[in-house]
Structure formats: structure tokens, C-alpha cells
Amino acid sequence: MTSKLIKDYFRTDKLPHIWCPGCGHGIMMRSVAQAIHNLGLDKDKVCIVSGIGCSSRAPGYMDFNTLHTTHGRALAFATGVKLARPELEVMVITGDGDCAAIGGNHLIHAARRNINITTIVFNNNIYGMTGGQYSPTTPTNEFGTTAPYGNIDKSFDIPELAGAAGATYTARGTAYHAKQLTKIVENGIKNKGFSLIEGISICPTYYGRKNRKGSIVDMMNWLKDNALDIKVASKLPEEKVKGKFLIGEFKNVTEPEYTEEYMKIIERFQKER
């Protein structure tokens, strides 16, 4: 026996999942399922695609049409699914490395096309599955197994990157703010176009240990104390916003959607024939 949400939307015979104790991914996977439930979508009309990494294990546990693909290519496969079956609600669950490093090019071009795919990035700031190498979202001067003297790279702001490339909906949530994450995933699914939602996760095993972030609860408290809603931030003086990261909705606009434009061309030529 388990809760109705888990029983209805998860492959319960696959639980417990492989994620480490305290991993934020489990919380965010639940938020995604809750968002799908809240919108009342038909399970058979939802397709969840993932690449490789800790985050990409998620569709294995979720009871929808699921696709576990090659590293970084989740968006490429998802684009294929969406064009072949435009009636499906296609979602991608990906990680920070999968999305912004190996699949960085797929990300910017999917965003540029504004194809109706909802992408949820489980960002744990590190490559967890392969042993804690630094990723494109590891903050400057922090440590990874491949950055033993500190990371000298600047980190990516994934929602800003996707928004600049043309995504019509971008937002950020955290594993601590699980209810808000559900809400923004709902809005992302409702948006007709490319939606990118970044969920800040916690990785107590690699990122936490390498950077002395304390216990699982300390890391959750860090999310609670350092996340600032964009609506609140706009009313605060600059010194109170400094050093915090923003959560909430960053961009929500309407633009022509790729599969619709594609179908219009097919229709036009069929009429002319």
C-alpha cells in the first residue's frame, strides 16, 4: 500500500528507486506526477523522455509512455515523438549535465524552434551517477572530483539560456519548494511552445560531501534560505537580493509553435496538389 498518487502514476514494483538517501530528485519527480494529476491528463497521452544520468532514471519509475535515450539526446528524441504524434503531451526530464553540456546544442535549438515540449531539468550541480565530476552548473570555486582545486568555470543559468534562445516559458523551482514546483510544471505543460523548468535539487552524496555542505537537512535549509521568489525580489532593496538565487516564473509569452507551423506547410501543399 502506498499513497494514491504513487500508486496511480508510478511503477510501484520498481520502488525503492536507486537515488541516494535525501536526493532531491525523488521530491521533484513526485511534483511532476502531481502536476500531471492536477491537469487531469490521460496517462496514455503523456510521453516522458530522458537521457542519461541520475535525473534520467526518473521515467523508469513513472507509469506513462516513457523513453530512456542516449546521453544529451532526450530533446532530439522528444522532437521526433512530438512531430510524429503531435497529440501527445511530450515531456523531457533531464539533468544539468545532460541538458546543458552534452545536450546543450539540442537545448538551444529546441528552444529556438519553440516546439511544444515541457523540459524539466533536475539540477544537482554535479555529475552524480559517474562519481561527482563538475558540471556546467557547478558554481565557480566549488569542488568536484575533476576540480580538486576548485572549479574555475562560470556556471550556466539554464532558464536564462533557454529564454535567450527562444523558449516561451522559463521558470525555476527547488526541491524544498515542492508545491511551487508543481504549479510551475503545470503552467509549463499548459504553455503551447517550448517550456523550460529548472528544479534545483540536492546531491548530498557528491556535491554536498565535496563542498562540505553539511547534512541532507542542512542542504534543504540552504535551499529554503537562499531561494528568493522573483516577485518578492522585485520589491526588496538590492542588498537583500545579493547572493540569493531567484525562483518563480521568468518568462511566459506566446509565439508560433513548431509542430503547428509544420502541419500548416503540409496542409498547404496537400491543397495545391
Binding site for other proteins (CB under 8 A): 1-4, 6-7, 10, 15-17, 19-27, 30, 175-176, 178-179, 204, 215-217, 220
| Rounded-to-integer distance, Cα 201 and Cα 181, Å | 11
Q: Would you say 164 or 178 has its CB closer to other proteins?
A: 178
| Shortest distance in whole angstroms from residue 38 CB to other proteins | 13
Q: Would you say 37 or 71 has its CB closer to other proteins?
A: 37
| Shortest distance in whole angstroms from residue 213 CB to other proteins | 14
- Cell numbers 513526485 correspond to 30
Asked if 40 and 79 count as a contact pair (C-beta separation under 8 A), the reply is no
Q: Would you say 6 or 83 has its CB closer to other proteins?
A: 6
| Shortest distance in whole angstroms from residue 13 CB to other proteins | 13
Non-local (6+) Cβ contacts of 141 within 8 A are 150, 151, 152
H or E segment to which residue 67 belongs? strand 65-68
Q: Would you say 3 or 234 has its CB closer to other proteins?
A: 3
| Shortest distance in whole angstroms from residue 221 CB to other proteins | 8
Concatenating the DSSP letter of every residue in 210-245 gives HTT--SHHHHHHHHHHHEEEHHHHTTS-HHHHTT-E
Grid coordinates given for 195: 517550456
Q: Would you say 1 or 84 has its CB closer to other proteins?
A: 1
| Shortest distance in whole angstroms from residue 11 CB to other proteins | 12
| Shortest distance in whole angstroms from residue 8 CB to other proteins | 8
Asked if 64 and 43 count as a contact pair (C-beta separation under 8 A), the reply is yes
Grid coordinates given for 97: 549535465
Q: Would you say 67 or 175 has its CB closer to other proteins?
A: 175
| Rounded-to-integer distance, Cα 73 and Cα 75, Å | 5
